[in-house]
């Protein structure tokens, strides 16, 4: 299987997604549309992954609009799509949702609570990495998948082939370090979770997050 990853900023990589692909023997191709303006063709995509980034999907940039057209094309042929943070917001917009400022900026570790039993084997509560100040409203027909105390719409499942999460399951330890050393100052300003960059790094990545990321991708790929 060819997995095309859209990475929107240097410090938010594929992490556990790459580990999952490597374990299966799949081919992972990483594109950097914000830097090079290049996107894969829908016909060359067996699974599409959209990672996070500091931009907003409401920004008037050609590559952001082109990326949404790619999402639409991949979705129309029933190929699996996973989006985290900015990626999930892009998926929501393609499907008639809205992206706007969230009630509170969340940066750091905090629990999310499972809202749907459609994907088997997921825990009721999981501590995850939040790194956002915008949010999506659920697109039509989507099932709410996760919520947090500060934000109801933390994740959705659209059909059986599209998952969008406002937070991050994918970072592994090296990814966490990269996010913190390059963008840790983002946590210091108006952060409702009141965690510093040092706090976030000290917490570390819960071991179960990698397992859950694998379960989500297994579900999409099945």
| Domains observed in the chain | 2-221 (3.40.50.880)
Residue 128: the pLDDT is: 98
**Model pLDDT for residues 100-157, shown as the tens digit of each residue:** 999 999 999 999 999 999 999 999 999 999 999 999 999 999 999 999 999 999 999 9
Which residue do the tokens 């509560």 mark? 125
Residue 181: the pLDDT is: 97
**Model pLDDT for residues 31-69, shown as the tens digit of each residue:** 999 999 999 999 999 999 999 999 999 999 999 999 999
Residue 211: the pLDDT is: 98
Backbone phi and psi for residue 22, each to the nearest 5 degrees, phi listed first: -60, -40
pTM above 0.85, yes or no: yes
Q: Which residues pair with 114 in a beta bridge?
A: 146
Residue 131: the pLDDT is: 98
């Amino acid at each position: 299987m060819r997995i095309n990853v859209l990475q929107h900023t240097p410090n938010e990589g594929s992490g556990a997604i790459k580990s999952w692909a490597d374990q299966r023997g799949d081919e992972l191709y990483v594109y950097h549309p914000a830097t090079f303006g290049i996107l894969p063709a829908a016909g060359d995509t067996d699974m599409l992954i959209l990672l996070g980034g500091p931009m907003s999907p409401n920004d008037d940039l050609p590559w952001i609009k082109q990326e949404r057209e790619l999402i639409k094309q991949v979705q129309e042929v029933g190929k699996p799509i996973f989006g985290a943070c900015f990626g999930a917001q892009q998926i929501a917009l393609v499907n008639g949702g809205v992206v706007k400022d969230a009630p509170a900026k969340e940066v750091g570790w905090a629990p999310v609570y499972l809202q749907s039993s459609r994907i088997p084997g997921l825990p009721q509560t999981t501590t995850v990495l939040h790194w956002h100040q915008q949010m999506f409203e659920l697109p039509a027909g989507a099932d709410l998948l996760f919520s947090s105390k500060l934000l109801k719409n933390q994740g959705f499942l659209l059909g059986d082939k599209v998952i969008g999460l406002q937070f991050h399951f994918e970072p592994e330890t090296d990814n966490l370090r990269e996010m913190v050393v390059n963008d840790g100052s983002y946590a210091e300003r108006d952060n409702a979770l009141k965690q510093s960059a040092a706090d976030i790094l000290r917490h570390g990545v819960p071991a179960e997050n990698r397992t859950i990321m694998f379960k989500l991708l297994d579900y999409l790929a099945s």
